[in-house]
Structure 1
Amino acid sequence: MFQWLSQYNYDFALAAIPIQLLLLIFYCSRRNLPIRASYSFLWVMLANLAMTAFDLISCEMNEIWTEYPLWLMYVVNQGYFLGFILRGWALYDYTAEECHGYASLGKYLATLANVPAAVAVLLILSTPWTATIFHFTPDKGYYNCHLYPIIYFCTYFYIAMSLLCVFLRWKQTDFRLKMSMLGYNAVLIAGILLRKAFINTLVTSYFSILAILVIYLSAQNPDLYRDRATHLFNKDAFDKIGREFRRKRTAFHCITVTADNYASAKVLYGYQQIENAIGLIGRWMIDSFRDYYVFYYGHGEFLMLQKGKFEDHREQIIHELNTRFAHPWKGEGTEVSLSMSSMVLPYEILPEEMEQIDDLVEFAFGKTYMENKKGNKVFSKDIVTDLYRREAVEMALAKALEDRRIEVYLQPIYSMEEHRIIGAEALARLKDPELGFIPPDEFVRVAERTGDIMELGRQVFERVCEFLATGQPQRLGIRKINVNLSPAQCRNDQLAAELSAISDRHGVPLSLIDFEITETSIEDYLLIQKQMLRLQEKGAEFSLDDFGTGTSNLIRLLNLPIHIVKLDMYIVQSYFSGKTGILPDMVRMFHNAHVGVVAEGIETAEMKEELAGIGCDYQQGYYYSRPVPPEEFIAYLETVQLS
């Protein structure tokens, strides 16, 4: 067994060294984020390794110091103390960078915080001549001097500064990162206390490596910021890099690259071939555009980022992308053709806040194809205005749902057989104090994107039940109110229970409701069938809305409990404009299947009469009435029904 010269227990320090070496090798073999926090963490690991190595070496050499040159003894011990100070400062620097604590500390306090480390380094370097930290004498050998406590003062100081940064940025820092920062600082404090309690056991390095592991696992593992399939940076990586660039006023621009036919290609080629092709694209982009950071957002969407304002080489980049995507992506067992759209996001249009930049990138992916079709290759401020409008609508919708200000307008449905209004379609409306009237197509799309569509549907149904609970519509001959169900609502397994609870609360039987679903809603056929049967048992009926806009299997549609099909307005208008004469055949087809037909978009008396001759059972459109508030609808009914 190896015999150590000193009385120190090295077990913990020796255990820390291989762990630190493995972490360093793995960390440096990966592509890390080009941000200061990553470099600070690397300095933490290097300083800790140096501190541990010099600690072991100096402890042994100090026992036989007379056998070595005095200058070498000073260098070895200085190496330990410098590593100790640098590790403490680097941990503080990492914390301040990761939680953006420097901004909260302010310029002067952040600068002053470096003074203790600078003073300690100067004292350590000067100690061979000043004997401030440690010294060697013939009778004592190595011993600590009067300013030795500054070493531990620096450690306590930088732990305190780290915690101050965390608490100053408490609300702005996510929970995982906060717990990580509190955790590794607590580990460091525990290590220092145990070192003082067990003076002959070198535990500082061991607890330092535990703190480093906490940081690595929670925030600095390079794989947290890489897409597994492509090995490119992911969306989280862009968020961190973008935040640092924005915070430090570093100009940068982005290029969105979208595989337009990704979804259809995935069906055609299969998942594995598409993933292989995406990997080939990623590697080609890294090799071809070395000045860019490349990110993969999934679903065939790539983002390229480069420092600078992007002025001279715009056409060259776009040309290279177009030229390469014009050819198949070939690899081992892979040959995939993908079409591509790309757009430049110049620095000038990027918002100040990173959250808004993230939204802009997502918005850009959705707009790239259409803008390319128009000949646009660069996003302008006019295009970005659409994003700001969408965000404003999103906030307006959220506030309206919170305040329960969603209104319901009603548009009459006319029976050709009875020659009177027998029903109405309930349509959601939103009027914001600042934005004014927001078109339904606009806020419904926003609701589907944000997930608010579920609550929107519930509030619309509640308004309808409140209206029916008055008894006025029934008194004036209204048999049913049609209520739209979104595809998202139809995927809710608790839909039937939720709607039944609302109708029961208002004392309104579901037999007064005709739910409208679209072809998109039946993608999960078994689930929607189950929901429809549950509601049908309580008396509700179902119509198929906007027929002709989807691609669903007609047999599957007719196997659902649907009693009416509403022909999309486009089909009706195409018939009257002479583009297609298929409308009469569609009416006959549904009649043969014992399904009634509603024609939407009726605007003139001529349209009314001709559609009646074709055999449409019901009609709906501006010829009868625009959608109106409930009180106006009642007044309208009182006028037309009595006449």
Structure 2
Amino acid sequence: MNRVYLQLILVEGIVMIMDMISSMADERYADFTVGQLYFLNDLYFITFFIRSYLFYVLTSYILKAHHFFQNKLQLLSIIPVVIALVITVSSRFTNLIYAITEEGYRAGPLYDYVVYSCIGFYVCISLVMVIIKRKKLLNKTVFAGAIGYNMTLALGIVLRKTFPTLLLLDTFCLIALIIIYLSFTNPDFFYNLKYSAFNTNALRYYVDEIRSYKDHRYIAFGIHNYTEMRGVYGGVEMDKALNLIGQYLRNTFKDLISFYHREGRFILVGAGDIDSARIINDINSRFKEPWILKETEMYLELDFVQTAKEMTIESPEKRLDAVLAVLRDKAKPVPGAVYYVQDSEIEQNEREMYIRKTLKWVIENELTEVYLQPIVRADTRKIVGAEALARIKDKDGNRIMPGEFIPVAEQNGAINQMGEQVLKKTCKYIIDNDIEKMGITWINVNLSPMQFMNYGLAEKYNSIVEESGIDVGLIHLEITEEAMVDQMVLFRQIQIMKERGFKFVLDDYGKGYSNLDRLKQIPFINVKIDMAIVRDYCSNPDSLLPNMVQTFKNMGFTITAEGIETKEMADEMQRIGCDYLQGYLFSAPVPVDEFKGKCAELANTK
């Protein structure tokens, strides 16, 4: 993109110079030979048409549409400029664009058609590209800038036609170049002076322009335990060290381009034949020595990530995304060693990106589905409650499993909006149905650990229940054991919500971090035993689970056993004192519109 921009600046300069020189020569045609006049005018028209084509090419790079247009419409897009050039150069024989006569320069019969058709074609196709890509332009500045400079060119074409003797089009081309600079090619957008390296924006543009991974290789590394190291040395000192690292990479590996990608991560990009093993060894050797600041000697270790040699996926962008995902949140290698990314991890990363896009679409359109799973009394096996569970589908109606979308939703924050939608739809179901006749006295709604980080959680949930008009006692909030790690935040949120009338259930007990002392401090009314604990006990009975159940009951909790799949499991859980049962023996989670029928079916079961 920047190379095309530099070419445009060069060509624009030549166009302006040749416009003035050829115009002067045409006015003083008697001082020049016919051959000289044709040469000067040909050179002007050639650069004039090339300039129009380069503006179009730049637009395709700015919109990241160059792969599509180069691969599928390359011949079509270059035809107008080739035709215009051929007709122009042959004008000394045909006089179609212009002619040099005894009376000097005069326009030919095809002048307006060829000149304005060529430049108009490229401006129009550029505007069409912008309009087509507008929904994918995440940054409104990109859309405004692309529309702005193309409309400037269009206005310049109109004014050139209206006032042909003035250099108006050149002026508007210069304005368009200024708009492009301010919107897209300003070095401040791509280079991070703080860390002496190109930034993430530059990395994305650069990788998007790489057509084949075989011709480019990259080495990614991040500071081992970066967050802890930043806490140890302090933010200011760490930033200074990162600057030194950026300078070291730039000065030592001059054949590579270095990029900084947030939180202590660097990417080195080079030709396909770089000796990555030697480069990694050199970097490791340097990091065995301290980074010397004014008052600090900073010792740092690195995590290296590369794509495996046997990898078959060629997409540079997919490879980069997988590498960055490993550096960000995957298992870390031994400091100084290299973690090799496999095809499976790229496929997994692609899947996660697809789920993120689906979650965004689901949240924006409030398409989170609610499924209900019955909870029955252990003694009577009659339904008394239910658990509301979130489910989603993609745009094609394909279901995405909770084990896939919930971790992603928790990571990107979508779990907050999803939880609110589940609560709203659960409240609506209670309003629209006589749940008492169905045997339902409460419905459990899950709260993710990440939702407790939202300080407006209590106010938002209370507002949803109040607006629905239902009794808050009909909603029990399930909290997983993972939520109990941050005790201060948990206690504060629960206390506020308890005052609003909410009741709480501890979910998945046995797979987290809670202990009896902490359980006593939180007003739970029910403890749900994790299905893995239930299955393990039913396979290998011992005294641990029965004693735990009795301890909980002595503390005033009721007990729900999860994962009940057989009658024998249900009988055993009833025998050791569980109050409620939940599992596929009674019903899998079903859509809300099928739940009433499921309740009737359970009511008739003996």
Q: Give, in whole Å, the separation in 1 of the partners of 2:268 and 2:469.
A: 55
Distance 1:179 1:286 in 2: 34
Pair 1:395–1:204, CA change in 2 (3 A): closer
* Structure 1 residue 467 displacement after superposition: 6.7
TM-score (norm 2): 0.72
**CA contact under 8 A between 1:522 and 1:528: conserved in structure 2?**
no
- For residues 358 and 38 of structure 2, the distance between their equivalents in structure 1, rounded to whole angstroms, comes to 68
The residue type equivalent to 1:84 in the other structure is F
Q: Within 2, Cα distance between the matches of 1:438 and 1:81?
A: 58
Cα distance, 1:340 vs structure 2? 1.6
Cα distance between partner residues in 2 of 1:637 and 1:606? 32
Q: Does structure 2 conserve the Cα–Cα contact (< 8 Å) formed by 1:96 and 1:162?
A: no
How far did 1:297 drift? 1.9
Q: Which amino acid aligns with 1:318?
A: I
Matches within 5 A, 1:270-309: 270-308=234-272
Could you list the per-position Cα deviations for residues 569-610 of structure 1 after superposition, in whole angstroms to 9, with x for gaps in the alignment? 3558xxxxxxxxxx6xx63x7759999996955544612444
Alignment correspondent of 2:340: 378
Counterpart contact for 1:50–1:83, Cα < 8 Å: yes
Name the counterpart of 2:85.
118
Residue from 122, 125, 131 that aligns with 1:161: 122
Matched with 2:181 is 216
Distance in structure 2 (CA, Å) of the matches to 1:473 and 1:262: 57
The alignment-based identity, stated in percent, is 19
One-letter amino acid matched to 1:484 = L
2:511 corresponds in structure 1 to 569
How far 1:229 sits from its partner (Å)? 2.5
- CA shift in 2, pair 1:373/1:149, >3 Å: same
For residues 366-405 of structure 1, what are the structure 2 equivalents within 5 Å?
Answer: 366=328, 369-370=331-332, 377-391=339-353, 404-405=368-369
CA contact (8 A) 1:406 1:430 kept: yes
Q: 1:171 aligns with which of 123, 129, 132?
A: 132
Question: What is the distance in 2 between the residues matched to 1:202 and 1:395?
Answer: 48
> In 2, distance between residues paired with 1:57 and 1:325?
59
1:243-296 CA distance string (max 9 Å, x none): 3223x7864343321223222222222222222222222222233333333222
| Alignment partner of 2:409 out of 420, 429, 447 | 447
CA distance, structure 1, for counterparts of residue 546 and residue 160 of structure 2:
95
Give the secondary structure class of the aligned counterpart of 2:369: coil
Counterpart Cα distance in 2 of 1:386 and 1:192: 50
CA deviation map 1:383-428 (0-9, x unaligned):
33433453565577678876543424467899xxxxx999989473
Shift of 1:105: 6.0
Counterpart of 1:255? 219
Counterpart AA for 2:79? L
- Specify whether residues 429 and 117 from structure 1 end up closer, same or farther in structure 2 by C-alpha distance, changes over 3 A only: same
CA distance in 1, matches of 2:14, 2:313: 43
Mark the CA change 1:293 to 1:425 in structure 2 (over 3 Å): closer, same or farther.
Answer: farther
Summarize the Cα distance change of 1:620–1:268 in structure 2 as closer, same or farther, 3 Å threshold: farther
Alpha-carbon distance between aligned partners in 1 of 2:398 and 2:95, rounded to the nearest angstrom? 76
- Correspondence list, 1:298-377, <5 A: 298-308=262-272, 313-332=275-294, 335-345=297-307, 349=311, 356=318, 359-366=321-328, 369-370=331-332, 377=339
Between stretches 518-527 and 188-197, larger displacement belongs to: 518-527
What does 1:442-481 correspond to in 2, within 5 Å?
A: 442-462=404-424, 465=427, 466=429, 470-471=434-435, 481=444
What is the aligned partner in structure 2 of residue 34 from structure 1? none
Structure 2 counterpart of 1:268: 232
The structural deviation recorded for 1:94 is: 2.6
1:428 aligns with 2:370: no
Provide the secondary structure at the position in 1 that maps to 2:86: helix
* 1:191 alignment partner in structure 2: 156
- Which residue does 1:225 correspond to in 2? 190
Cα 1:409–1:263 change in 2 (3 A) is farther
Report if the CA contact (8 A) 2:301-2:335 is conserved. Answer: no
Alignment of 1:1-40 (within 5 A): 37-40=1-4
Q: Look up the equivalent residue of 2:243 and give its one-letter code.
A: G
Summarize the Cα distance change of 1:482–1:86 in structure 2 as closer, same or farther, 3 Å threshold.
closer
Greater shift, 466-475 or 328-337, is seen at: 466-475
Name the CA shift for 1:519/1:409 in 2 (closer, same or farther; >3 Å).
same
Match of 2:73 in 1: 106
CA RMSD between the two structures:
5.2
Which amino acid in structure 2 is aligned with residue 119 of structure 1?
Answer: V
Q: 1:217 to 1:522 in 2, by over 3 A?
A: farther
* Paired residues of 1:342 and 1:369 also in contact (CA < 8 A): no
Q: State the secondary structure of the residue aligned to 2:389.
A: strand
Greater shift, 384-393 or 339-348, is seen at: 384-393
1:493 corresponds to which of 456, 467, 481: 456
C-alpha change, 1:222 and 1:412, in structure 2 (3 Å) is farther
SS at match of 2:341: coil
Query: Could you say if the C-alpha distance between residues 176 and 146 of structure 1 is closer, same or farther in structure 2, counting changes exceeding 3 Å?
Result: same
Residue 55 of structure 1 deviates from its aligned partner by: 3.8
**What amino acid maps onto 2:289 in structure 1?**
H
Letter of the 1:509 counterpart: V
Amino acid paired to 1:607: L
CA deviation profile, 1:12-54 (whole Å, cap 9, x unmatched): xxxxxxxxxxxxxxxxxxxxxxxxx322221211121223234
Which consecutive residues of structure 1, in runs of 5 or more, have no partner in the other structure? 1-36, 415-419, 547-565, 573-582
Residue 45 and residue 374 in structure 1: after superposition, are their counterparts in 2 closer, same or farther (change >3 A)? closer
Q: How many residues align?
A: 558
Indicate conservation of the 8 Å contact 2:81/2:118, yes or no: no
Partners of 2:375 and 2:385 within 8 A in 1: yes
Is residue 184 of structure 2 the alignment partner of residue 235 of structure 1? no
Tell me how far 1:147 sits from its aligned partner: 3.8
Secondary structure in structure 2 of the residue aligned to 1:304: strand
Distance 1:83 1:113, change over 3 A: closer
CA distance in 1, matches of 2:271, 2:261: 20
Counterpart contact for 2:305–2:341, Cα < 8 Å: yes
Residue identity opposite 1:274 in structure 2: M
- SS of 1:302's partner is strand
CA distance in 2, matches of 1:303, 1:567: 43
Is 2:574 the partner of 1:607? Answer: no
2-structure distance, mates of 1:410, 1:204: 73
- C-alpha contact 1:423 1:480 (8 A) present in aligned 2: no
Instruction: Give a deviation string over 1:551-586, Cα, whole Å, max 9, x none.
Output: xxxxxxxxxxxxxxx9763558xxxxxxxxxx6xx6
